[in-house]
Amino acid sequence: MPESNNISNQPEVFKNTLTELFENNYDQIMENSSGKIKSLRQKAFGIFKKNGFPGKKTENWRFTDLNHLFRNDFIIDFETKSQKVDISNIFTCDVYDLDTYCVTLINGWFAYNNSPLTKLKNGTIIGSLYKAMEIYPEIVEKYLGSIAKLNEPGFVPLNTAFMQDGLFIYVPDNVKVEKPVQVINIVDSQKPVFLQPRNLIITGKNSNLTLIHCDHTLTHNISFTNTVSEVIVDQNGYVDHYKVQNKGRNSSLITSLFFKQEKGSKLFNNAITLNGGFTRNQVDLLINGENCSANLNGLYLMDNNQHVDNQVFVDHKAFESLSNQLYKGILDDQASGVFSGKVLVRRDSQKSQAFQNNKNILLKDDAKVNTQPFLEIYADDVKCSHGATVGQLDPNAMFYLRSRGLSERTARQLLMYAFAGEVVNKISVEPLRENIIKLVEKRLKGELSICDQCILSCNSREPKFIQNIVD
């Protein structure tokens, strides 16, 4: 671990340290970048240097306090590079009965058994972004940074300046990737680490992809991950995207997920947050072509003093498209939840339909929720609605169940499953749905530990790595 840096807990100091770090390690950071990517990094760095981190007064950060994240002893690693590891030695994970292409990122770097970048028979490329910059610069240049927004303060420009490795997937036109791709982000470090993985997913016209992101920590040490993903769904494409988060109490996770949909495409995005000390998920969707449909779902189950913040922005830039948001959360103990959903229907995006719903249950008086479902509409021929509720389990339903002989505890759990079920049941990959239902049940019973090695039911089977390798 060559680079160890002392970073103070003040955002300004943290920012200054990062800028110095960037300047001092300029050559190493730029090592793999083509001219275009270099200038993207420089631009992003300039923006970060100017704007720094968002503060309490930044509209979308009002309820999320960042100061405690900025630590003085984070390690940022520029050198590891993608590594050849026998993953099964550290970690096994898969979903029961679900055959996936499984890839792993360890501390933000791509880990592989055979090759850092593989090409399936159907032309699909899966592997390390770092390597892809080298081998497929024309693809990377075209898409990297094309939809991630640099103009917002903080984390996206920072990631763009520093990004090293992450997942790269390219699905050519007319290809249906039969098996889901499963990505496991593992944080495994004995020292506090600051990680900035970057993912780039491109699906071609008429193509299909199911992608499952799992976030884990294998350590109780402090970690801070700032992930940025860009997912492009070309015409008539279909992307089914899952994010399952089960991280340690000392881990902080900020993910910024950008989607762009072209004409006739379909998108499902599901964010399931089961545990995490501090989790912020930003989903930013640009509907760039007509007749698209997008379903953005989220479930968050928080206890202790965990904090989760979901920020969803849907930009209807084309006519006759549909977006549907459903985010639900149960907050226990002193946990706090934020939902901020914004739908923008631009002028001339006629016949848009946009729906937004956020429902919350508070189980304790010390739990808190802040919800802001916003609509900003500039076209008249639209159907838009939103709803937000904060409440408890329905006392009538509770009574009904108890009058049938169920204990209060069981009745409460049943109703909580039912509440969560509305989101979980939308998961279309059946084995995954089954597993997530089990996890949610376990979580609601208080039996799911963040120490479980794998949230998706660990078993002793060998991990499955990419087969069908042609090169």
Partner 1 sequence: MQKDNNKIINKLAKSDYKYGFYTDIETDRAPKGLTEDTIRFIWEKKKEPDFMLDFRLKAFRHWQKMAEPTWAHVKYKPIDYQDITYYAAPHKKPQYENLDQVDPDLLETFNKLGIPLEEQKQLAGVAVDAVMDSVSVATTYKKSLAEKGIIFSSFSEALQDHPDLVEKYMATVVPYTDNFFAALNSAVFSDGSFVYIPKGVHCPMELSTYFRINAANTGQFERTLIVAEEGSYVSYLEGCTAPMRSENQLHAAIVEIIAHKNAEVKYSTVQNWYPGDKQGSGGVYNFVTKRGICKEKNAKISWTQVETGSAVTWKYPSLILKGDNTTGEFFSVAVTNNMQQADTGTKMIHLGKNSRSTIISKGISAGNSNNSYRGLVKMSGQATNSRNFSQCDSLLLGDKSGAHTFPYIDVANKSSIVEHEATTSKISEDQLFYSLQRGIDMENAIGLIVNGYAKDVLKKLPMEFAVEAQKLLSISLEGSVG
Q: What is the CA radius of gyration of the chain?
A: 21
- Binding piece for partner 1, criterion CB under 8 A, among 112-120, 135-143, 280-288, 360-368: 360-368
Question: Is residue 2 at the binding interface for partner 1, with CB under 8 A as the rule?
Answer: no
Q: How far is the CB of 62 from partner 1 (least distance, A)?
A: 9
* Contact present, 49 and 17 (Cβ < 8 Å): no
Which 362-391 positions form the footprint of partner 1 (CB under 8 A)?
A: 362-391
Give the contact letters, 52-81, x = binds to partner 1 (CB under 8 A), - = no: -------x----------------------
How far apart are CB 255 and partner 1 at their closest, in Å? Answer: 24
Shortest distance (Å) from residue 407 CB to partner 1 = 20
Comparing CA positions, the residue from 225, 268, 205, 307 lying closest to residue 426 is 268
| Cα–Cα distance measured from residue 216 to residue 230, given in angstroms and rounded to the nearest whole number | 20
Task: Tell me: does residue 335 bind partner 1 (CB under 8 A).
Answer: no
β-sheet bridge partners, residue 322: 293, 353
| Token pair for 394 | 């329905």
Q: Which is nearer to partner 1, 385 or 410 (CB)?
A: 385
CA 152 to chain CA centroid, nearest Å: 18
Phi and psi for 67 in degrees, rounded to 5?
A: -50, -40
Whole-angstrom CA distances from 409 to 35, 104, 418, 422 are 61, 39, 14, 21
How near is the Cβ of 320 to partner 1 at its closest, in Å?
Answer: 15
Report how many residues bind partner 1 under the rule CB under 8 A. Answer: 36
Instruction: Name the residue nearer to partner 1 (CB basis): 60 or 226.
Output: 60
Query: How many Å apart are CA 271 and CA 311, to the nearest integer?
Result: 11
Tell me 59's DSSP state.
Answer: G
Segment interacting with partner 1 (CB under 8 A) among 73-81, 152-160, 314-322, 356-364: 356-364
Question: Which range touches partner 1 (CB under 8 A), out of 127-135, 238-246, 262-270, 357-365?
Answer: 357-365
CA–CA distances in Å: residue 255 to residues 42, 248, 354, 378, 430? 22, 16, 24, 29, 26
Which residue's CB is nearer to partner 1, number 248 or number 329?
329
SS3 (DSSP) at 336 = strand
- 8-state DSSP, 205: T
Give the range of 122-130, 131-139, 280-288, 342-350 binding partner 1 by CB under 8 A: 342-350
- Segment near partner 1 (CB under 8 A); pick from 101-109, 320-328, 347-355, 424-432: 347-355
Give 234 or 332: the residue with its C-beta nearer to partner 1.
Answer: 332
Task: Please tell me whether residue 58 adopts helix, strand or coil conformation.
Answer: coil
The residue (of 79 and 376) whose beta carbon lies closer to partner 1 is 376
For partner 1, which residue of 23, 348, 408, 430 counts as binding (CB under 8 A)? 348
Q: How far is the CB of 4 from partner 1 (least distance, A)?
A: 41
Site map for partner 1, 18-57, x if CB under 8 A? ----------------------------------------
Measured distance CA(187)–CA(217) in Å, rounded = 5
Q: Is 360 in the site for partner 1 (CB under 8 A)?
A: yes
Contact 86, 462 (CB under 8 A): no
Give the HSE-up count for residue 350: Cα atoms under 13 Å, Cβ half-sphere: 3
CA distances from 214 to 93, 218, 457 (A): 10, 13, 12
User: Which residue ranges make up the site for partner 1 (CB under 8 A)?
Assistant: 59, 347-348, 350, 360, 362-392
